[in-house]
Copies of this chain bind each other. A is one copy, B any other.
Amino acid sequence: MTEKNDPFGVREGEISAALPETFDASLYFIGRIRTPWKDRKDCPKNAGQSRASGTVCTIELDPRWAPGLKDVKTCSHLVVLYWMDRSRRDLVVQVPGHYKAARGTFALRSPVRPNPIAMSVVQLVKIEGNILSVIGLDCLDGTPLLDLKPYFVSTDAIPEAKVGWHADRNDA
């Protein structure tokens, strides 16, 4: 574990871990996410901002997996897992540009994490063949898709949940 401030993207106060020498499991990219955002600076600040804007993005599922969409049209909302393929994986404490405070990686939704899997809850607008139109994504165009799941209120909706550091921040 090292603490440093180098020119390769580690900010003052950030801490990196030595990555393991080997991987433990492997993923298939099962499709691609199409969004209007070609550059990170153009992306919405977060999924909430994207949802508020009502921007419709599309998810192109590889035809190999398309039979797996049976019954999905009956879901109003989906959990989308995708791969933040441009993110470094070694930071355990990081300073997000818009917060200016050092936070633990597991207290953040930053794409920078040991396994850069993002999770977004989206509203399903329509499905045509292997193409899903959804509202609520905030990622770059071309982002690799990992999974789609039905969103169940009984287990996934916790309206009373709190993120203390976020509620208390004075740096937003």
A-side residues, CB < 8 A to B, are: 1, 15, 17-20, 23-30, 46-48, 51, 64-79, 81, 83, 85, 89, 92-93, 102-109, 113-115, 117, 119-121, 123, 136, 144, 146-166, 168
Contact = CB atoms under 8 A, between A and B. Distances in A.
Contacts of A148: 106
Contact of A83 (B25, B66, B102, B108): B25
Given A51-B155, A81-B119, A109-B149, A144 B64 contact: no
B153 A161 contact: yes
Q: How many monomers of this chain does the complex have?
A: 2
Contact of A104 (B71, B93, B136): B71
Given A28-B23, A155-B51, A150 B70 contact: no
